[in-house]
Structure 1
Amino acid sequence: MFVLELTYTAPVERVDALLPDHVAWLDTQYAAGVFIASGRKNPRDGGMILAVGDDRARIEEIVAADPFSAQGVCAYRITEFIATKTSEELAPYRQRLPG
């Protein structure tokens, strides 16, 4: 599982101009089963996305396709973690420690 932290690197007006394209990109990833939660940070200086998967390289490809990333209005920090404990609603995403 991955936590994707977006930090805006451009004025929020530039971010807002790309927002419809970013939301369409998000929708594509939700439909593909990659994203399970997302939203703005408060204060509004970026956002957070919770993504599922085992392949960091694939997550990096997905992030690179985000219009925010492609247009240089945000930087991503990708943190991988092993979700060994979840709520019952997220039980399908539970993972086991390797080895």
Structure 2
Amino acid sequence: MFVLELTYTAPVEHVDALMPEHISWLDAQYAAGVFIASGRKNPRDGGVILAVGDDRAEIERIAASDPFAAHEVCAYRITEFLATKTSDALAPYRQQLPG
């Protein structure tokens, strides 16, 4: 599993101008089953996305395809972790520690 942290690198007005494209991109990743949660940070200086997958290179490719990244209005920090404990609602995403 991955935590994608976005930090805005441009004025929020530039971010807002790209928001419809960003939301379409988010919707496509939700439909593909890659994203399971996302939202703005508070204070509003970026956002956070929770993504499922085992291939870091693929998650990096997906992040690079975000219109925010393509138009250089945000920087991504990607953290991989093993979700060994989850709520019951996220049980399908639970992972095992390597043997």
Aligned residue pairs total 99
Structure 2 matches for 1:88-99, cutoff 5 A?
Answer: 88-99=88-99
Identity score, percent: 82
Is 1:84 paired with 2:84? yes
Question: 5+ residue gaps in structure 1?
Answer: none
Q: Aligned residue for 2:2?
A: 2
Question: In the aligned structure 1, how far is the partner of 2:88 from the partner of 2:64?
Answer: 32
Deviation at 1:22, TM superposition (A): 0.1
Give the counterpart letter for 2:15 in structure 1. V
Show CA shifts across 1:9-34 (max 9, x none). 00000000000000000000000000
Question: 5+ residue gaps in structure 2?
Answer: none
Give the counterpart letter for 1:75 in structure 2. A
* SS of the residue 2:16 aligns to: helix
TM-score by length of 1: 1.00
Segments of 4+ moved more than 2 angstroms? none
**Considering only aligned residues, what root-mean-square deviation do their CA atoms show, in Å?**
0.2
Question: In the aligned structure 1, how far is the partner of 2:98 from the partner of 2:30?
Answer: 27
Deviation at 1:40, TM superposition (A): 0.1
Question: In the aligned structure 1, how far is the partner of 2:74 from the partner of 2:98?
Answer: 33
Question: In the aligned structure 2, how far is the partner of 1:7 from the partner of 1:64?
Answer: 14
